Amino acid sequence: MTHKPVRKAVFPVAGLGTRFLPATKAIPKEMLPIVDSPLIQYAVDEAREAGIEQMIFVTGRGKSVIEDHFDIAFELEHTMTARGKDVSVLAKTRLSPGNCVYVRQQEPLGLGHAIWCARDIIGDEPFAIFLPDEFMHGSPGCMKQMVDAYHQIGGNVISVLEVPRNAVSSYGVIAPGAGNGVVTEVLGLVEKPKVEDAPSNLIVSGRYILQPEVMRILEGQEKGAGGEIQLTDAMAQMIGQQPFNAVTFNGNRYDCGSKVGYIEANLALALQRPDMAEQIRAIALNLLK
């Protein structure tokens, strides 16, 4: 059986980024760099690698530099070229008008609401979601691994990973069913449960392939955890109606929604970069003395 291809991805980027203040007072948290690329660039690269063609950014006030980032910087490129400088580093930042759409989430009503803001652009096809502050690093990337599984199983596919039991309350948590390799059936989903109520320590880690019916559910979704319209609650209603599975990502995950995870990601990536690994290693060792 062939499953409709995943051609579109939603990037909810309207969040206020309060955990990184004052850094994020005037710049979006999605523009914070890991080494020399902003977080949002890694997510877009991951989407492209998975064959996704259209990037839909759900933005808000103060987020327009994300649009600038994915535009052609004419003055910059013109000036650099005239001075004989290489502009190839900018190639990955250019999204042509057919490949990107920006919609606004006008009020911070929750992740579920942010996704729902993209409903008209999604239309009637399966789509991916990327939470850019979950930085998934691997080869192939997380979404490519998920798309490969989706081609086999169809339906809804989310990425999950294990965290220590005492950390589950910050996340969406799955009730796992039967497993088959990297794929685990999802029997239930709960957003930010108390540790004692959590059905497992497998958390939803910021990558989703969902069927468009989720938009209809989000339409009438009541507020959930934290008084917000939760994507997790809408997904939970699809279980039993449509296939719902989780893929365990084979790679590294850095929680760049937290300062510690963000520093870890920078260090880890710098240590993998041929142009600086040796120096960074020496610096790190020296600091740890």
The residues that touch ligand G1P, with contacts defined as CB under 6 A, are 111, 131, 134, 171-172, 191, 203-206, 230-232, 257
Angle between helix 142-153 and helix 39-49 axes, rounded to 10 deg: 30
Report in angstroms how near the CB of residue 179 gets to ligand G1P at its nearest.
Answer: 20
Beta carbons within 8 Å of 231's beta carbon, 6+ residues apart:
110, 111, 112, 115, 129, 172, 208, 214, 218
- Which residue number is nearest to ligand G1P in terms of Cβ? 172
Q: What is the CA radius of gyration of the chain?
A: 19
Integer Cα distance of 244 and 160 in angstroms: 12
Report in angstroms how near the CB of residue 110 gets to ligand G1P at its nearest.
Answer: 8
- Residue 170: count of CB within 10 angstroms of its CB: 12
Beta-bridged to residue 190, according to DSSP, are: 173
Question: Which two three-digit tokens encode residue 251?
Answer: 């790679």
Q: Which is nearer to ligand G1P, 111 or 117 (CB)?
A: 111
Q: Which is nearer to ligand G1P, 198 or 203 (CB)?
A: 203
Report in angstroms how near the CB of residue 191 gets to ligand G1P at its nearest.
Answer: 5
* 3-class secondary structure, 224: coil
Beta carbons within 8 Å of 164's beta carbon, 6+ residues apart:
201
Q: Which is nearer to ligand G1P, 95 or 143 (CB)?
A: 143
- Residue 36: count of CB within 10 angstroms of its CB: 12
**Burial of 29 by CB count in 10 Å (0-12 exposed, 13-18 middle, 19+ buried)?**
buried
Integer Cα distance of 229 and 175 in angstroms: 21
Residue linked to tokens 């029997």: 187
Report in angstroms how near the CB of residue 203 gets to ligand G1P at its nearest.
Answer: 5
Cα end-to-end span (Å), the chain: 58
Report in angstroms how near the CB of residue 82 gets to ligand G1P at its nearest.
Answer: 43
Q: Which is nearer to ligand G1P, 59 or 232 (CB)?
A: 232
Q: Which is nearer to ligand G1P, 200 or 230 (CB)?
A: 230
Q: Which is nearer to ligand G1P, 95 or 254 (CB)?
A: 254
Report in angstroms how near the CB of residue 111 gets to ligand G1P at its nearest.
Answer: 5
Report in angstroms how near the CB of residue 73 gets to ligand G1P at its nearest.
Answer: 31
Residue 99 and residue 53 in contact, taking contact as beta carbons nearer than 8 Å: yes
Q: Which is nearer to ligand G1P, 41 or 205 (CB)?
A: 205
